[in-house]
Amino acid sequence: MTKGLDREDPLSIAIFDDTQNSGAARVAASLAAEIAAGFGPRDELPLAIVAYAGDSVVGGLNGSTHWGWCYIRHLWVDADWRRQGLGHRLLAEAETQALARQCVGLYVDTFDAGAAAFYERAGFERLGQIEDFPPGHARTFLCRRLV
């Protein structure tokens, strides 16, 4: 007998293609409450750094800070602006913002081996990877502690 499933109430499971329903919202809110109770509030703040050349966006970094870390969700530099230091400038600004938010480090994941090498040149440490994610490639996780 499985604990919790011996109830007389009927159990049903529903499948949704999106998370924009009340059940999915309840799952997210319930998990967030349990995590906050065990690990403290997430205190998540979004972070967006955008580089312009005139009116054109030529690069940027999106992410968030939470639990004392800065997560880099996206870092992109237009092909015409690569290898000119813009990626490193965006990372430097992310570090400045992370320090202002009292973060202890930055972390990122990438599918691109060239991007992983870029982060390693910027002082990030490779923590691990998942092979064949996406198929034929690896998802690599990296971090860098701040001074």
pLDDT recorded at residue 9: 77
Query: How does DSSP assign 45-108, residue by residue?
Result: EEEEEEEEETTEEEEEEEEEEETTEEEEEEEEE-GGGTTTTHHHHHHHHHHHHHHHTT-SEEEE
pLDDT recorded at residue 24: 85
Neighbours of 76 (CB within 10 A): 16
pLDDT recorded at residue 116: 97
28 Cα distance to chain centroid: 17
Q: Which two tokens stand for residue 128?
A: 């691990």
Distance CA 104, CA 70 (A): 8
pTM of the predicted model as reported, rounded to 2 decimal places: 0.84
Distance CA 70, CA 99 (A): 9
pLDDT recorded at residue 114: 95
Q: Which positions of the chain have pLDDT values less than 50?
A: 1
pLDDT recorded at residue 135: 96
Distance CA 21, CA 42 (A): 23
